[in-house]
A = this chain, B = another copy of it.
Amino acid sequence: MTEQDLSARIAGEIRDAIVSGALIVDARLPSEAELAEQFGVSRPTVREALKRLAAQNLIRTRRGATGGAFVRRLSFEEAQDQQVTTATLLLSMNAVDFDTACEARFALERACTALAAARRTPGHLARMDRELARQGDPALSDEAFCASDVAFHRALVDSAANPVLSYQLAGAIEAIEPLMNMIIFTARDRARILDLHGAIAAALARRDAAAMDGALSTLERYTCELAATVMARRGAAPSAARGR
């Protein structure tokens, strides 16, 4: 671990300063020239370090007279985006078993049902109803159906009214959904899924967390069955196996 290049070491030092609180949000870092002198390296090397930090959304840079690199407030939205791409790559690169991914996704989603039942607002129910209506439209393309599926489940999670939960679940739902849809694209029975979604929404409307859990579990089982069917039809190729 000690053999990382200069830009990585410098980026690490600055990152530690941010994480430890020595550099607070909106604090301005020294200019590139000053950093270069402080660390005893050239400006391109400092720039590589700053780009590393920028890639992690830890700093932003502004040009001009009062420009420079500033510690950035990491927003929930950005963190979610990071989470989604990371989780997506993690699944696609590690040949994660479909059942494993599916199991995790629904287990996490069920973690929201109690809070969702207690706190859902008419707005959340409306969001879900809107997606239900879209999903019932036979003219909807497969891609759009998938997108609506994601939107439906995210509305469910958001109805728990806990931004930390929403952030965490974003990775679980968005990252696994494409994998799921790639696999069961052709075989899926929209009517069946729509039924279950309807049951979930109805249970949420009457604040019945147990019924939501049940419907989600049924949906999980159905999804896994579908995947198994598709997999069997494709031969013995094991799920998303790829690489190495």
Contacts and interface: CB of A to CB of B under 8 A. Distances in A.
A200 interface: no
Interface residues of A, number: 63
Contact of A107 (B82, B89, B165): B165
Interface string A163-190: 1110110011000100000000000000
A165 B7 CA distance: 33
A21 interface: yes
Interface string A15-53: 000110100111000000000000000001001110111
Interface of A: 7-8, 11, 18-19, 21, 24-26, 44, 47-49, 51-56, 58, 73-76, 79, 82-83, 85-94, 96, 100-101, 103-105, 107-108, 110-112, 114-115, 160, 162-165, 167-168, 171-172, 176, 242-244
